[in-house]
Each structure stands twice: as structure tokens, then as C-alpha cells.
Amino acid sequence: MRLVIRGHHLPGRNCGAYEGIHVGLQVGREPVGLVPGDADGAEWVTAVRTDDGDFRGPAVHGRKGERFIYLTWGTVTDGSFSMFRRAKLMLGDLPVGAEEVTVDIDLTDEAGMPRCARLDAPAVRIG
């Protein structure tokens, strides 16, 4: 399955005590496709496959039956990324058997900060 993650309504480059905010897809321990927090939007594309109902792929984390993808928030200073929070997209919420799935995410929470923790509706729309 081709998974397209589209982020919108980013919180800004400076938010709360954080300056130089960026968000990216976490692959292993590293952020990939960093987007500044004041961008108009963000998009990441990753491959996710299922083997016997279990998800696999370079950006997939977690135990069998509890797999997820992280969007990682951090500050970038002198080209160095320092993570301060993450958002978790649960793969079990995706439709089974689809060739491509697009997930739209509101990346700013109700307090105006970068959205974190488990991503659920209404902040997430799966299509």
C-alpha cells in the first residue's frame, strides 16, 4: 500500500517555548522529509505492506497488532534536529486491502501547539 500523509494547519515556526520548529516522518530514529512549522502544508509518502494482516515498512514502528507511524516534531538549529514531541498514526485504522490511502491531518492542536500523541478524528481524516 502506498500511504500518503498530508498535513495542514501547521502551528508556526515558533510556538510556545520552541523556536525553529519542523515536522517530519520518523524512519528508524531519524526524521525524514522535514517541513518547517510555518509551511502552508506538508506531505510524506511511504510504502506500507501487510503480511498476514501485519504492517511493515521503513517508517513502521510498534509491536505486531499495534503498528503505527510517527510524525516527529523538533527544533532545527544549525542543521541539527532535536525532537520534542511526536504524533502517532495508528495503522490499524487504515482500510485493509487498499492500494493507496491518503490521510489528512490537522497538525495544530486545540491549544495552538504541534499536535502530538495518538492521532484520532476529527484531527485525522482517512480517505
pLDDT at 98: 87
pLDDT at 93: 87
pLDDT at 14: 97
**pLDDT (tens digit, 9 = 90+) per residue, 4-56?**
999 999 999 999 999 999 999 999 999 999 999 999 999 999 988 876 778 89
pLDDT of 104 strictly over 80: yes
Contacts 24+ apart (CB under 8 A), 92-98: 92/65, 92/66, 92/67, 93/124, 93/126, 94/1, 94/3, 94/48, 94/126, 95/126, 96/50, 96/53, 98/1
